A and B are shown apart, each in its own frame.
Chain A
């Protein structure tokens, strides 16, 4: 009974969101459907960075690299045999025969499998990379993970046989729709939420607050950092797979610093360490970027949008450095009962008022 009561607000929110998605699906408004899918993919990316950076204070600039690996892996795995032979003739033998393009009824099980395989592959890579990099601290992690991003890019550009190098990778099946995108986004939000309020989450926030103090009471700093890094990498790979099957053609240039900075902006605006804040930050920055893109298009002042977004970002860092929510959470119960701004749920790391 108690469990049911606890879950009620979540259930209401889930139902409301599903209804909204169904309405959007029925409306046939292609632009808004596309925007909603983009929103979901960014929510996953921002939660991934939130796990890796917001929870632990270890700033990763490499997660877009994991996204890239996820996108290419899933795209290659789902390519039908006929297309593959023609499109990627020099593929290594063990990859030649793989074609996860099967469906069961309306469900593209091959796509699900490819996404999960991409996620698993990235987790292995992240485990190896993270075990090395998580020993570093502060901005040196940031720069080392940026180094990882550069390495991924160089490899993608040069591994012609597998990635087509700098040429566009197209012919990707358009599996991603509103339901897949938001289904995965819901999983990402749920993962972040569960992790934040778990024992691991407490350990992450503890070592973020004070590494030495956390260590002195026996909280290992490496384990929670690594878990967060790998979990974030998995979500990034999922986002990459969804992106690949949404946009259907892409090249390595997409997965680079501009996208990294966009995701960081969303996270910082929402509040590093807040799960609901990440969603709000994503929505705000996405809306702002879309509005600015239209202004650019109308005025032909290309570059203005980028300038204003960056100014907005600096203003947030100067005037509201902890973002909109800090580490706090919006309480779903309050939201459903329509009494906002009261009794926000506090994160484990914010025992003292900030």
Chain B
């Protein structure tokens, strides 16, 4: 039971880091442009592909990672320049729909490239050695990628926080998110700040992509859909647009997600005689073993409840009158 619990906690922390890397990018761009960048998940997917192809080509891991980050950042910048800048400041729904289209382009583009490279749609990810295998701590064995994922997530996020609060570029992003015209008036180059935000969010997504692919072991062009939704939920939990909120929300979501899995079928895991038969039956009814497969549905019900009752996040105040 203890081993089981520890493993679930590690799972939660590792998933939390991945969601945080994604959610910070979403929140950063939403804060400045009021754009929910749905293509963010596809940016992460493209990163996984660049990493895979770099490793296939025999590049050493550090070079492959640099290639991955650089390529992903270029894609992030291109999508800002070509698709989002022309409609900046337009209706929010138009921006959201555009991001769907950008996502479709990235997915189909990846499909096209893999076809041209004579690869199947779903390919096995060449997980580097440092990210494979398990770490044994006493009786607990944990996949190494989860440990490294959690650790690197914390380090990178700390770096991002420092960048955002200690550098003029980082503060400019805050200022642009706070009041865009005022930021322009003090002489902040808004185009530059927006591009920097896209570059940073793409770089974070690329790290998430590498971790995700190493965990999953397989990649396909459509893998970004679920992570971007999760990142969105994380950002909502933290109060949309708030960077630190997104991080808190991401780890909260990580824990929220393991709850159905951990509770599902809990009655069967308990040692015989630990609880009375009545409680055992009750647990089996309330938490059937199938509960874990309903995880995503449960998480989305939670999202909808959050949007309704605490639209400013768990840290923010109670429901405000939402703007038209």
Contacts and interface: CB of A to CB of B under 8 A. Distances in A.
Complex contact flag A–B (Cβ < 8 Å): yes
Interface of A: 57, 59, 132-133, 135-140, 142-144, 146-148, 150-151, 154-155, 157-158, 210-212, 257, 261, 264, 268, 300-307, 309-311, 313-314, 317-318, 321
A132 B87 CA distance: 31
7 contacts: A136-B307, A137-B323, A138-B323, A143-B303, A261-B104, A302-B115, A310-B102
Given A150-B229, A310-B102, A268 B97 contact: yes
Interface of B: 36, 83, 86-87, 90-94, 96-98, 100-102, 104-105, 107-112, 115-116, 225, 229, 232, 236, 290, 293-294, 296-297, 300-301, 303-304, 307-308, 311, 322-324
Contacts of B303: 143-144, 147
Nearest to A142: B96
A219 to B, nearest CB: 13
Q: Which of B108, B229, B294, B296 lies at the interface centre, i.e. has the most chain A CB atoms within 10 A of its CB?
A: B108
A307 B105 contact: yes
A158 B93 contact: no
Contact of B311 (A140, A147, A150, A311): A140
A190 B93 CA distance: 27
B115 A300 contact: yes
Given A148-B300, A307-B109, A309-B104, 13 more contacts: A133-B304, A137-B323, A139-B93, A143-B307, A144-B303, A151-B297, A155-B297, A303-B108, A304-B112, A306-B104, A306-B105, A313-B97, A317-B94
Nearest to B303: A147
Contact of B86 (A57, A310, A318): A318
Contact of B322 (A137, A157, A306, A310): A137
Nearest to A152: B297
Nearest to A208: B324
A211 B322 CA distance: 11
A287 B236 CA distance: 39
B324 A150 contact: no
Contacts, number: 125
B324 A310 contact: no
Contacts of A136: 307-308, 311, 322
B2 to A, nearest CB: 30
A309 B109 CA distance: 12
Nearest to B306: A144
A216 B87 CA distance: 31
B90 A321 contact: yes
A303 B324 contact: no
A314 B101 contact: yes
Contacts of B232: 143
B64 to A, nearest CB: 24
Contacts of A306: 104-105, 107-108, 111
| Chain A to chain B: the 8 pairs with minimum beta-carbon distance, closest first | A306-B108, A303-B112, A303-B111, A211-B324, A147-B300, A303-B108, A154-B297, A310-B104
B93 A146 contact: no
A139 B311 CA distance: 13
Contact of B301 (A137, A146, A151): A151
A303 B221 CA distance: 11
Contacts of B229: 146-147, 150
Nearest to A214: B324
Nearest to B116: A301
A313 to B, nearest CB: 5
Contacts of B109: 303, 307
Contacts of B293: 154, 157-158
B307 A140 contact: yes
A90 B303 CA distance: 32
Contacts of A307: 104-105, 108-109, 112
A154 B294 contact: yes
Given A139-B93, A150-B297, A158-B294, A304 B87 contact: no
Contacts of A303: 107-112, 115
Contacts of B108: 303-307, 310
A138 B30 CA distance: 14
A135 B100 CA distance: 24
A302 B109 CA distance: 9
